[in-house]
Amino acid sequence: MLLVRESHRHALHGGHLRTAAEVRKRYWVIGDVNVSRRVVHDCIICKRQRGKPVNQKMAEVVKLYPGKDDLVRVVDVRFADDIVVKRPVTKLILLMKGSERSDVS
């Protein structure tokens, strides 16, 4: 197991097949792919790289600021931690809810 861990570090955390190939260069280990899978699975550095994606929370538009021509160019946006920020409309994307999506053709 220690030889496989060292080979995993030498392979620059390249995955279980790369680790098994590094082990095979020097040693004959029975079940080397299974051992290398376990080593890669237990490796903290590899776990950090495999991190789960985070679902981004959308901000809520609180207030609209129409101009003299009645076009909205600035809005107040409330983020998850109740911070309200003025943002230009050019940096926003319109998202429709599921019920509204069927109305658009």
pTM for the whole thing?
A: 0.48
Place of tokens 């790289």: 49
pLDDT confidence bin for 91, thresholds 50/70/90: low
Q: What CA–CA distance (Å, rounded) separates 93 from 75? A: 12
pLDDT confidence bin for 55, thresholds 50/70/90: confident
pLDDT confidence bin for 38, thresholds 50/70/90: very high
What are 65's strand-pairing partners?
Answer: 74
- What is the predicted pLDDT for the residue at 105? 44
Q: What is the mean pLDDT of the chain?
A: 85
- Mean pLDDT for 16-35 is 92
- What is the predicted pLDDT for the residue at 100? 53
Spatial CA neighbour of 92 closest among 82, 104, 79, 105:
79
